Amino acid sequence: MKEGPDLARIAALIGEPARANILTALMAGRALTVTELAAEAGVTVQTASGHLARLEEGGLVVPRRSGRHKYFALRGVEVARVLEALLGLAAARGHLRSRPGPRDPSLRAARVCYDHMAGEAGIRLYDSLLARGFLGPAPEGLALTDAGATFVTSFGIDLAALRAGRRRVLCRDCLDWSERRSHLAGALGRAMLDHMLGLAWLHRVEGSRALRFTPAGRRAFDAAFPPVEDWFPEGSTPQAA
C-alpha cells in the first residue's frame, strides 16, 4: 500500500516481550548464548531459538559460533542506540515493567540468571566484592584480584579447578534488570551460587527462577557479603567473613 521503511516490521520485532527481553539483555554489550538468553527472556530454549532466528533475519542481532555454543550480540551500535532511544521514550512515558506481580517480589529479591545469582542479593554480592577490592576492572571486563582469589578460596571455592577448566570466562558482569546494575556471572558466579546452594544457604523455588534463602542462610550471606554502605562510609579496610 505504502512504501518507505517498514516501521511496523522492525518495531514488531522489538515489541514482543520475549524478544524485547533478549534485546535488553544484549544491551549489556556482551554476546550471550541461546540458553542464557532463554533464561533472561523467561522462555524455553526452543522459543528463544526461534526468536533469535527472527531477530537475526531482521538484522538486529548477529550470531557467532563457538564450539557447540552459538553466541548472539546486537548488530552494531546503531541498533543499541535505537533501543536506547526506545527505552528512554518508555521511561519518559512512565512505562515501567512489572507492576509487582504475584511472584515478582521473590524474583527481585534473588533469582537465578542462567547459572548465577541475580536480583538484589546478586547485586549485593557483586557490590560487596567490588567494594572490598576483590574484583577489579580488567582489559576484558572484570578480573579477580589477588585478595579476591584469597577470599573466594577461603569461602570454599576451588579456584584452581575453575581456572583449569578454562572453558568459560572466570568473571563476567551481567546487567541486572531488576536493579539495572551489574551482578557477577561467569564461571566464578556459577561456582559461588553452586557453593551457596551446597551450603544450603538457599534453594531454588521449583518451577521458577526464584531463589529462597533459609533464615540461617540469609544471616550467613549478610555476614559474608555485607552491604556496601558498611564498607564505604570511611575507608577501604577489608575484613574476614
Partner DNA sequence: TCCACAGTTCGATCATGGCCGAAACATTAC
Partner DNA sequence: GTAATGTTTCGGCCATGATCGAACTGTGGA
Binding pattern for the stretch 81-110 against a copy of itself, x by CB under 8 A and - elsewhere: xxx-xxxxxxxxxxxxxx--x--x--xx--
Candidates 16-24, 63-71, 129-137, 229-237: pick the segment binding a copy of itself (CB under 8 A). 16-24
- Binder of residue 33, out of a copy of itself, DNA, none (CB less than 5 to 8 A by kind): DNA
- Contact yes or no for 64/73 (Cβ under 8 A): yes
- Contact yes or no for 112/39 (Cβ under 8 A): yes
Please give the size of the binding site for a copy of itself, defined by CB under 8 A: 53
Between 47 and 153, whose beta carbon lies closer to DNA?
47
Residues in the chain: 241
Candidates 14-22, 154-162, 191-199, 209-217: pick the segment binding DNA (CB under 7 A). 14-22
Neighbours of 177 (CB within 10 A): 19
**Chain position carrying cell 538486529:** 60
76 φψ region: left (φ > 0), alpha (ψ -120 to 50), beta (else): left
Which burial class, exposed, middle or buried, applies to 93 when counting CB atoms under 10 A from its CB (0-12, 13-18, 19+)?
Answer: exposed
46 binding DNA? (CB under 7 A): yes
Angle, helices 17-26/45-57, rounded to nearest 10 degrees? 70
Candidates 43-51, 128-136, 141-149, 210-218: pick the segment binding DNA (CB under 7 A). 43-51
212 binding DNA? (CB under 7 A): no
List residues binding a copy of itself (CB under 8 A): 1-17, 19-21, 23-24, 42, 58-60, 78-79, 81-83, 85-98, 101, 104, 107-108, 177-180
